[in-house]
Amino acid sequence: MIRVTRRYRFSASHRLHAAALSEAENRTLYGKCNNPFGHGHNYVLEVSVRGPVDPATGRAADPRALDRLAEKVVIRAFDHRNLNTEVAAFRDCVPTTENLGREILRRLEQAWTSEFPGPWPVLEKIRIAETERNIFEISR
Amino acid sequence: MLITKRVDFSASHVCRNPALSDQQNLEIYGADANPHGHGHNYAVEVTLSGEPDPVTGMVFDLKRLKDILNERVVEYFDHRFLNYEAPPFDRVVPTTENLALEIWARLQPALDGRLAAVRVYETEDLFVDYFGGAR
């Protein structure tokens, strides 16, 4: 088995604000991230898939198929967007990078068979860096 | 404990399976199938696992590891055209996956059973990991 990882970049703005908390509680909890006008990040996303090496092609995954999938369900949806106002999933859900990671995983899973109809490769995990210093990883 | 050492080399390659037509190769490998070849700055991260030796405090002698990596990986692949100069890639397609498998096979006998993972970066944005076992 081989793990193949592809890295993607997108830039987006967000505001962290939990509807269930008061204005003051939000300011205390999220600090600068609660700024009502929002702020942005250059996100770096790593998508890892796993599979056996096909003896004919020498490949465990076609990176171009993964690129098409990521472009369709992640980059096009999030790049140069305001996550709170332009992405339906974050209307009622705080766009922390934890929740963003879950949303990305959900989108990749949902569209997976459109590019990978066979049993392999399988989606293994994603890793998303909000900044170079804050990194989140979700395994399936 | 895991320890990782990184080395790099630059090489050219063509991804093409001679059993397939030009059109099929283009569909599978895209620009990588260009028959004239193209190059990458590859980086290899080699991870060993073990407990530090009670006397030396080391999982593995890093000087020795450096020599092994240079001898078995860098000198063999650096500034080579993989398909023409670095067997088995005269008959095995030099995809990043196959490079990881080959680097594992070249290193494994020299690392006292400590090899845990080989990661090969073809570019900063595309890399593969092999942890041994079934391919």
With CA atoms as reference, the chain A residue closest to B95 would be A58
What's the total number of domains in chain A? Answer: 1
CB distance B20–A56 less than 8 Å? yes
Stretch A27-45: mean pLDDT: 96
Whether residue B86 is contained in a domain is answered as: yes
Q: What digits encode the pLDDT tens for the residues A53-102?
A: 999 999 999 999 999 999 999 999 999 999 999 999 999 999 999 999 99
Establish if A31 touches chain B: CB-CB under 8 angstroms.
no
Confidence tier at B126 by pLDDT (50, 70, 90): very high
Stretch B23-46: mean pLDDT: 95
Confidence tier at B98 by pLDDT (50, 70, 90): very high
Task: State which residues form the domain around A49.
Answer: 2-139
Helix (H) or strand (E) holding B4, with range, is strand B2-13
Whether residue B36 is contained in a domain is answered as: yes
Q: Where are the alpha helices (H) located in B30-80, listed in sequence order?
A: 62-69, 75-77
CB distance A57–B93 less than 8 Å? yes
Whether residue B135 is contained in a domain is answered as: no
The CATH number of the domain holding residue B107 is 3.30.479.10
- Strands A81-82 and A122-131 turn out to be unpaired
| Lowest-confidence segment of A49-53, B33-37, B98-102 by average pLDDT | B33-37
Establish if B96 touches chain A: CB-CB under 8 angstroms.
yes
Distance from CA of B59 to the nearest CA of A (A): 25
With CA atoms as reference, the chain A residue closest to B99 would be A58
Whether residue B54 is contained in a domain is answered as: yes
Flag whether pLDDT at B13 surpasses 90. yes
Whether residue B109 is contained in a domain is answered as: yes
The CATH number of the domain holding residue A128 is 3.30.479.10
Q: A107 with A126: CB under 8 angstroms?
A: no
ipTM comes to: 0.90
Task: State which residues form the domain around B70.
Answer: 2-130
Which residues, in sequence order, are bridge partners of residue B119?
B45, B129
Q: Where are the alpha helices (H) located in A19-62, listed in sequence order?
A: 23-30
- Residue A53: strand, helix, or coil: coil
Catalytic residues of A: 33, 80, 130
What's the total number of domains in chain B? Answer: 1
- Maximal CA-CA distance, chain A: 61
Question: In this complex, which of A8, A56, A60 lies closest to B97 when CB atoms are compared?
Answer: A60
Flag whether pLDDT at B135 surpasses 90. no
